[in-house]
Chains A and B, each alone.
Chain A
C-alpha cells in the first residue's frame, strides 16, 4: 500500500530562521511528487511537481528537492505570510494514478 509520511507535524520558526520540511514516501512506481500549501479554511494550493530523483524547483523562498525515498521543502528566511500547512502527495505508476497525501506540516512563522 502506498504511503506518504510528513515530518514534523508542526514547526514554529522565528522570522528569517530557515528550515526544511520532510516528506518520506513509499509509492510504487512514483511518477510525480507534489507539494501544496493550505491556508486555514481554504483548499490546497499547488506549489511544485517533482518528477525524478535529483530534481529541484524553486519559488520565492521555497525550494523543493526529491530523492528516491523522500522530498524536502526548504524554506529560506521565511516571513509570517509563509505560515500555512504544507502537504505533499505522490502519484504512482500507470494503473495506480491516484494521489496519496501526507497529513501535512503546520508551519508557523513568528514575527
Chain B
C-alpha cells in the first residue's frame, strides 16, 4: 500500500540547473499539492491541483512550475534553480479539498549549490 511516492529522495543541483520532482499517488485522489518545508517555518503551499489537467498557485509559486497530465501524477519543475530553493519538498494528496486530511509522501531533499 504505497500511498504517496516521491522521487527522487535526494538531489544536489548547481545554480541555474533544472530538474523535475515526481509525485505519484495510488489512492485515486482528485487533489494534489506541493509544499516546501524550511527550518523555523511551517509547510508552505507552492502549487496545487484540483484534478487532472488543472493547476493553481499557492502561497510561494515563484520559480516553480507544475503539471498534472495524469490523475495519479503531479510534477514539480524548477527551470533555473536558485540557492533559495534549497528545501525539503513534500507532495500530498486528498480526496476532497478543504476539511479532508491530506496524505503526504516522505519528501525530496533538494540542495542548490
Category for how many chain A residues contact B: 20 to 34
Q: Evaluate whether A4 and B48 lie within 8 angstroms (CB atoms) in the complex, with A32-B98, A91-B98 already known.
A: no
Asked whether any CB of chain A lies closer than 8 Å to the CB of B97, the reply is yes
Cβ A45 vs Cβ B104 within 8 A:
yes
Cβ A98 vs Cβ B106 within 8 A:
no
Asked whether any CB of chain B lies closer than 8 Å to the CB of A34, the reply is yes
Q: How far is the CA of A100 from the CA of B41 in the complex (A)?
A: 11
Which of the residues A4, A32, A46, A97 comes within 8 Å of B42, measured between beta carbons?
A4
Q: How far is the CA of A41 from the CA of B41 in the complex (A)?
A: 16
Summed over the interface, the residue pairs from A and B with CB atoms below 8 Å come to a total of: 57
Q: Evaluate whether A34 and B106 lie within 8 angstroms (CB atoms) in the complex, with A98-B59, A103-B41, A103-B42 already known.
A: no
Which of the residues A42, A43, A97, A103 comes within 8 Å of B98, measured between beta carbons?
A97
Asked whether any CB of chain A lies closer than 8 Å to the CB of B77, the reply is no
Cβ B90 vs Cβ A43 within 8 A:
yes
When distances are taken between beta carbons in the complex, the residues of chain B under 8 Å from A34 are 101-102
Which residues of chain B have a CB within 8 Å of any CB of chain A?
4, 40-45, 48, 58-59, 90, 92, 97-107
Which residues of chain A have a CB within 8 Å of any CB of chain B?
4, 31-32, 34, 36, 41-46, 49, 51, 87, 89, 91, 94, 97-104
